[in-house]
Amino acid sequence: MKNLSETKFALSYINKYGSLMAQGNGYLGLRASHEEDYPGQVRGMYLAGVYNRPAGSESAELVNLPDIAGMQIELDGQLFSLQMGKIVEYERHLALGSGLLTRRIIWRDPRGRLFELNFERVVGKTRGTLIGSRVSIKSLNQSVRAVITTGIDGQQTNFGTQQLMEEKLHVAAGDFMVGHYETIESDRKIVIAAKVAPGGVITAKNRQIKSQVTFDLQPGQAAILEKIVMVSSDLDLETTNLENVGADRRLSQQKDSDVLAILESTALAKLADRDFDWLKREVEKDWAKFWVTGRVELEPKASTVNTDQLALDFASYHLEIMTPKNDPRMSVGAKGLTGEGYKGHVFWDTEIFILPYFLHHSPETAKNMLLYRYHHLQDAKEKAQQYGYSGALFPWESAFSGREETPEFAAINIRTGKRQRIASALAEHHIVADIAYAVWGYFQATRDQIFMEKYGRELLRETAEFWLSRAVWQDGHYQILDVIGPDEYTEHIDNNAYTNYLAVFNVEQAIRFNQDATDFCQRGADFLANLYLPVAGSDGIIPQDDTFLTKPQIDLEKYKQTQGKQGILLDYSRAEVIDMQILKQADLVMLFYLLPHLFPADIVAQNLSFYEERTIHDSSLSKAIHAIVACRSGDVDTAYRFFQEACLIDLGTDPHSSDDGIHAASTGAIWLAAVFGFAGVDTTDVRLHFTPRLPETWQKMSFHFWWQNEKLQVELKQGMIKLSKGSTTELEIEINGKLLTLTDREIEERI
């Protein structure tokens, strides 16, 4: 498997690679910051679910934990930094296959002394696990004194916002540096224990505890330092069984100091006798296991330089490290655990873009995401009530508490000098239907009756109740007024096509699974019969909302060239953008993707083209979805172009595109584009459908796909599909509309 590699050290890319090469396990994320400090380098380590609402802020933030990756390296008193001297050789690799981050440097210092430096770093792949690093510094041509200082650095903040109180720093069990922390507002307890070998002189000051190790090196001799760390929080101690969350509060009975003491002794016990090599082997094994089924594998046409495989592996890798597997108190933030963008909040991205990958690889993990929503159903009902609605109005952004976490203000309006309010929490209500869609999708893929009975039907009904209360009777219809669709460059509009159609789908599914709730079903049927739904006009165009087609159009060429950067907001205020035919992403295209059979193919194609002309693709969610819809419309070339551009959202050359974390939803969307686009998977019917349309440069594509308790292996070539699942049960599927029955025999079909 190819590495994600950096072959040149460039300060301007330091935070992008810090995000791209991040390591983790779904519960802990560690940015790939360099051991040594650089101006502007943002260090970051995060635990899923560990948020804190800072003083004076209205929303919780994913807590940037004390740093354990930094190391000060002094060579005869001079600080090692690649900004100085001369870099003779430089390479850094994230081995996606094994999770290992390595860096190798040959460096000539300003005094002409030559060094070889090797760095390795690894993060355990299971929850509550260890972090290891090793540094080797070889002096190539001189005797030198190398002094390495590293420990636990509690000076980290979220861009100046302090989240943690330092309860205690001390040395335990002889040579373990230990830090006890508590989040200021949310009362989470965190313990970090770290040990270096060989051991050094330990000091503590200014929220740092550090060990300083001195090596006197002859030419050719290497200083080797290993560091092993454990990070844990009280969330690791509490039960993760949904039924018990909130009820079983063993820990809350205990004194803070006792909880911290338990965490410390657990950490020290786990660290005892462990070393870097042991951890590295464990992690390699765990990643190897993951990749057996976690991957979309391509065989590109000979003689083509193909980066698609790397993008797909990058996507799988990040989907895996961003997602907590079985703790319903946690879900996936917009940047995973790779950075502080969007404060680590959970958006609709999780259900619509990230959940499908797990639904078809690890349905239990997908279920966990839905349980996260169920866990906060009461909060959602309270939000609905607060605004005078019924049912459940899930927050646009959520964190640990389930409350609405959307910040009040966004950027500064360059014209007025004032900060602009974010309207999403007030109007971007489609998230309610998106969650319902995901509940339906989970059932569709798993037939998990127990889930539907215990959680799903209630989620469907409460979300549907919201829509029933949200619609108003006007001009002989129910109408859904004053919303924001997925396209956030259009605000406060009426009868948004995406929202209205998804609301219908939501209510339909709620009725389907709540037949015993007669009153609800009657009201639901009335809603379905009377909700106004935008339809195609004589020109074939479905209006995105009631007023969109009446707005002026402008030439977007300039802004499309810098897609993803929201450059239009430098020329126009948000209010002005809203009043023009300018889309961040296209609501209709999103709707076509989710409900592919709602409109005839020609209407889909026509609207795809009409809206694309008006879409800047400033949203990272836009292109991969366009790829899928274009592919389904038979335009594979356009689809492939969109796909490749989608792959560049994180992996492109823009040095700052991913500074504050990778685009979590985009990694899910890359996988969606491959599987739901080119492989032509359709999961909306009772049977699984394949309508494959491989890009011309892909000779072969294969992947694993969970479907209704079966683990399918899918292999596609130009003109051929091969399917197997290894179990004897019968499974009906359709290939290009042809019905086939799959058992434990491999099926090969010409297509």
37 binds its own copies (CB under 8 A): yes
Which residues touch 708 (CB under 8 Å, ≥6 apart)? 445, 446, 447, 688, 731
- Residue 326 near residue 240, CB atoms below 8 Å: yes
The position carrying tokens 């590699």 is 5
653 binds its own copies (CB under 8 A): no
Residue of 411, 472, 525, 535 that binds its own copies (CB under 8 A): 411
Tell me the window of 72-80, 274-282, 366-374, 697-705 that interacts with its own copies (CB under 8 A). 72-80
Of 193 and 594, CB closest to its own copies: 193
Residue of 2, 83, 187, 575 that binds its own copies (CB under 8 A): 83
Which residues touch 326 (CB under 8 Å, ≥6 apart)? 240, 364, 365, 368
* # chain residues binding its own copies, by CB under 8 A: 52
Residue of 187, 199, 201, 474 that binds its own copies (CB under 8 A): 201
562 binds its own copies (CB under 8 A): no
> Which two structure tokens, joined as six digits, stand for 260?
């911290």
User: Is the N-terminal amide bond of 552 cis, ω within 30° of 0?
Assistant: no
256 binds its own copies (CB under 8 A): no
62 binds its own copies (CB under 8 A): no
418 binds its own copies (CB under 8 A): yes
> Which two structure tokens, joined as six digits, stand for 38?
């650089």
Render 338-397 in DSSP notation, one character per residue.
Answer: S--GGGG-B-THIIIIIHHHHHTT-HHHHHHHHHHHHHTHHHHHHHHHHTT--S----SS
Picking from 179, 109, 178, the residue whose alpha carbon sits closest to that of residue 140 is 109
Of 84 and 472, CB closest to its own copies: 84
Residue of 157, 239, 514, 684 that binds its own copies (CB under 8 A): 157
Residue of 43, 138, 207, 663 that binds its own copies (CB under 8 A): 207
* C-alpha dist (Å) from residue 211 to 64, 71, 486: 22, 10, 50
275 binds its own copies (CB under 8 A): no
Tell me the window of 203-211, 434-442, 478-486, 726-734 that interacts with its own copies (CB under 8 A). 203-211
| Least Å from the CB of residue 342 to its own copies | 12
Q: Is 315 helix (H, G, I), strand (E, B) or coil?
A: helix
DSSP letter at 492 equals S
Residue of 32, 45, 130, 204 that binds its own copies (CB under 8 A): 204
DSSP letter at 543 equals P
8 binds its own copies (CB under 8 A): no
Q: Is 86 helix (H, G, I), strand (E, B) or coil?
A: strand
88 binds its own copies (CB under 8 A): no
| Least Å from the CB of residue 727 to its own copies | 51
Q: Which of 182, 458, 488, 491 is catalytic?
A: 488
Calculate ∠ Cα 409-415-419, nearest 5°.
10
> Which strands sit side by side in the sheet containing 78-79, from one edge to the other?
78-79, 72-75, 144-153, 208-217, 201-205
| Least Å from the CB of residue 80 to its own copies | 10
Tell me the window of 161-169, 272-280, 463-471, 483-491 that interacts with its own copies (CB under 8 A). 161-169
How crowded is the C-beta side of 451, counted as CA atoms within 13 Å?
21
159 binds its own copies (CB under 8 A): yes
| Least Å from the CB of residue 171 to its own copies | 3
Picking from 591, 462, 606, 604, the residue whose alpha carbon sits closest to that of residue 533 is 591
205 binds its own copies (CB under 8 A): yes
Tell me the window of 31-39, 288-296, 310-318, 632-640 that interacts with its own copies (CB under 8 A). 31-39
Residue of 36, 284, 299, 508 that binds its own copies (CB under 8 A): 36
* C-alpha dist (Å) from residue 477 to 474, 648, 653: 5, 44, 49
Of 173 and 549, CB closest to its own copies: 173
- Residue 217 near residue 286, CB atoms below 8 Å: no
79 binds its own copies (CB under 8 A): yes
| Least Å from the CB of residue 83 to its own copies | 3
Active-site residue, 488 included: yes
Q: Rounded distance, CA 315 to CA 610, Å?
A: 30
> Which two structure tokens, joined as six digits, stand for 347?
């958006």
Residue of 209, 235, 639, 681 that binds its own copies (CB under 8 A): 209
Of 210 and 367, CB closest to its own copies: 210
Residue of 419, 447, 558, 745 that binds its own copies (CB under 8 A): 419
| Least Å from the CB of residue 79 to its own copies | 6
Of 185 and 494, CB closest to its own copies: 185
> Which two structure tokens, joined as six digits, stand for 35?
């051991």
Of 160 and 476, CB closest to its own copies: 160
| Least Å from the CB of residue 178 to its own copies | 9
DSSP letter at 711 equals E
Segment 571-630, which members bind its own copies (CB under 8 A)?
Answer: none
Residue of 7, 8, 77, 475 that binds its own copies (CB under 8 A): 77
Q: What is the dihedral of CA 292, 298, 303, 304, to 10 degrees?
A: -130
Residue of 269, 472, 570, 575 that binds its own copies (CB under 8 A): 570
Tell me the window of 48-56, 395-403, 559-567, 727-735 that interacts with its own copies (CB under 8 A). 48-56
Q: What is the dihedral of CA 349, 354, 359, 362, to 10 degrees?
A: -140
344 binds its own copies (CB under 8 A): no
Q: How far, rounded to the nearest angstrom, does the alpha carbon of residue 663 sit from its chain's CA centroid? A: 6
How crowded is the C-beta side of 224, counted as CA atoms within 13 Å?
6
Report the 10 Å Cβ neighbour count for 449: 10
Tell me the window of 197-205, 329-337, 441-449, 725-733 that interacts with its own copies (CB under 8 A). 197-205
Residue of 45, 50, 169, 521 that binds its own copies (CB under 8 A): 169
| Least Å from the CB of residue 353 to its own copies | 24
| Least Å from the CB of residue 440 to its own copies | 38
Q: Rounded distance, CA 670 to CA 466, Å?
A: 32
257 binds its own copies (CB under 8 A): no
Residue 638's φ and ψ, nearest 5 degrees, are: -60, -40
First to last CA, the chain: 29
- Residue 507 near residue 528, CB atoms below 8 Å: yes
Q: Which residues bind its own copies (CB under 8 A)?
A: 11-12, 36-40, 54-57, 77-79, 81, 83-84, 153-157, 159-162, 165-172, 182, 184, 201-209, 411-412, 414, 417-419, 570
Give catalytic residue positions.
488
